[in-house]
Every structure is written in structure tokens, then in C-alpha cells.
Amino acid sequence: MGLPRFGRPIDGKSSPNLYVANCGPAVGLSFNTIATVFSTFGEVIGVYAADESGTRVIVSYVEESSAQAALKALNKRPCPDLAGRFLHIQYSIVQPPKQVLTNDSIPVSLAAKDLNIPGLYLWPEFITSAEEEELLASVDDMPWKTLAKRRVQHYGYEFIYEVNEYPSGVGLSPHIDTHSAFDGLIFSLSLAGPCIMEFRRYTDGAWLQKPDLDADSKEENSDCGSNFVRRAIYLPPRSMLLFSGEARYAWHHYIPHHKVDLVKDNVIKRGSRRVSFTLRKVREGPCKCEFPQYCDSQS
């Protein structure tokens, strides 16, 4: 059911667990390599990712004295056996397990047809693992533009995010892609890591006054809020999602800011990264859709 959760001990007390910064897969150090080096001070239970950065780990010992010895020997010093990395170490403690399903969560579907949202389609395994690796290598060879919470690349027309900027501390807020800017079909190809995408259909006019809520907002544990209907779907790596018709024009969509998700009683940990290829066609002329209440061309 997932890895242990760690936090800082109260009053700086020692523990058998160490938080080690500047050390991890993102800097070329595998968990096995880290475990081997730290095991010279005592029996290691395991090495875990401290967060999603790939540069910080938790090293757990059987004995507290082993952690004390490792901290004394390695803290704030370069470690020759770990590529000369200058390590920053402090004690860490195991926290009580946190309830994965919070009061903002709703059941997550695996198939688009189960959501009952007209115009929404999902194709798992739309590309092969080899094609995924090729696409990721291609984008990593190109420059990224850094936004407040994520990085983007543009191909063809450049989207000006100043007209749809997300406030600090908010993830991918509920939104509908601008009607007047893009045509009726929008494709999204998910690579590298999985995620949950939520959809909301607001009552007429309610979305105009709605706050930009992130995944930690206090909402009803239901698929129906006070002024909107909610649906959620699991997007596995290499899957293609199509927005068309009502799904494209009338349903807000967003990605909750979770580190783990509960999908059919299985805990799914978010990957260290997720890359989404979003394919849109620039609209020529005003939008004439059947949802004028959401349409900037008709309102």
C-alpha cells in the first residue's frame, strides 16, 4: 500500500532513519548503490525516495546507533563512494499513514465510457514503450519554457499563457480550453507517468463565480457538488485522450495536485514526471458550438 511516510523528529531527536539530500537517481546514484555505502555503518532496512525530485532519499537502519554513526561520518562532507557528492543529512521519523482518500476524492474510472461524458474517448497503450522513449528523448533534446508550476514546449503556434496563468500554489485549475482559439477536437497523449484527470460540469452561470480550487480544497466526498457534477478517470502512460463535442466545450477538466491516487482500491504513486503532448488545431473564424454559456465567441 505504498512506502512509509517520513517527517522531521520533534526537538531534533535522533532516530534510525536519515534524510539525505544531494543524493538519488536524478544525480546518477541508484538506491542499491546508496544502500551499499550506508550499510557500512549497520544493517539497512531500505532506501526510499524522500520526494519526487530524485535528489533526496530516506535511509532506514535497523539500529538507531547505525544512523548516528552514518550522520557523524557523512554529513556535510563529500562522499567518494557516492560520486563525491556533498551530502546533507538529518534525522527523520516514520509518520502515521495518511488516509489516501480525502474528502475531495471521488471514484476513479478506467474507461471513458464509464464517465457518461459525451465526446470523451480514451485509448490505453496508444503508442508502444519504444515510441514513448523516443518521444521523451526528443523533447529532452529541445529547450523548455519554464512556467510557475511546469515546463512547456511549443510546436507551430505558441500559446500565450498570460491569458490563462495559474496562481501560485494552485495546480492545473479547472478550465475549458478557449473556444475561439481552438477547433473542436483536442488530443492529449500522456507519457512517462500516470495521473488522474477530473471533469466538472457546472450548472449554468455557476462556473463564472467558481474559485480556482486545487486538490486539497474542502469539497463534498461525492460526484455531485453544490453547483457541479464531477467525474474522474485514470490516464496511464502511453494513453491518448480525446476531447470532442460536449466533453470539449462544456466540461471543465483539471489534474488534482496529488502525489498518490486511489484507483480501484490500488494506490498509484505519481511518477517523478509526466509529459503530455497536447494537439490542438487553431480555429479559423468564431466558434458556433451548442454551448453558448461557455463560449467566448458567443457570450
The DSSP output letter for 193 is S
User: Model confidence at 114, in pLDDT bands (50, 70, 90)?
Assistant: very high
User: Model confidence at 104, in pLDDT bands (50, 70, 90)?
Assistant: low
**pLDDT above 90 for 118:** yes
Q: CA 172, 177, 182 angle in degrees (round to 5)?
A: 145
Q: How high is the pLDDT of residue 160?
A: 44
Per the model's pLDDT, the better-predicted residue between 98 and 19 turns out to be 19
Phi, psi of 216 (to 5 degrees): -95, 5
CATH topology for the 5-95 domain: Alpha-Beta Plaits (3.30.70)
Phi, psi of 92 (to 5 degrees): -140, 155
Residue 201's DSSP bridge partners are: 229
User: Model confidence at 261, in pLDDT bands (50, 70, 90)?
Assistant: confident
- Give the tens place of pLDDT for each residue, 56-71: 899 999 999 999 999 9
| Residue 84 CB contacts under 8 Å (≥ 6 apart), including other chains | 78
- Give the tens place of pLDDT for each residue, 2-46: 445 666 665 567 889 999 999 988 888 999 999 999 999 999 988
Per the model's pLDDT, the better-predicted residue between 268 and 290 turns out to be 290
- Mean per-residue pLDDT, 256-260: 75
Per the model's pLDDT, the better-predicted residue between 148 and 299 turns out to be 299
**pLDDT above 60 for 206:** no
pTM above 0.85, yes or no: no
Q: How high is the pLDDT of residue 172?
A: 65
Cβ neighbours, 10 Å, residue 240: 18
**pLDDT above 70 for 95:** no
- Give the tens place of pLDDT for each residue, 154-175: 555 554 443 722 222 233 678 8
Q: Pick 112-294's CATH classification: 3.40.50.280, 1.10.3210.50, 3.10.129.10, 2.60.120.1520.
A: 2.60.120.1520
User: Model confidence at 223, in pLDDT bands (50, 70, 90)?
Assistant: low
Whose CA is closest to 248, among 156, 149, 112, 142? 112
Whose CA is closest to 117, among 251, 236, 292? 251
- Mean per-residue pLDDT, 228-235: 91
Q: Taking the domains of the chain in order of start, what are their residue ranges?
A: 5-95, 112-294
Q: How high is the pLDDT of residue 204?
A: 61
90 neighbors 8 (Cβ within 8 angstroms): yes
Residue 260: exposed, middle, or buried by beta-carbon count in 10 A (0-12, 13-18, 19+)? Answer: middle
Mean pLDDT, the chain, whole residue set: 78
Task: Provide the terminal-to-terminal Cα distance of the chain, rounded to the nearest Å.
Answer: 48
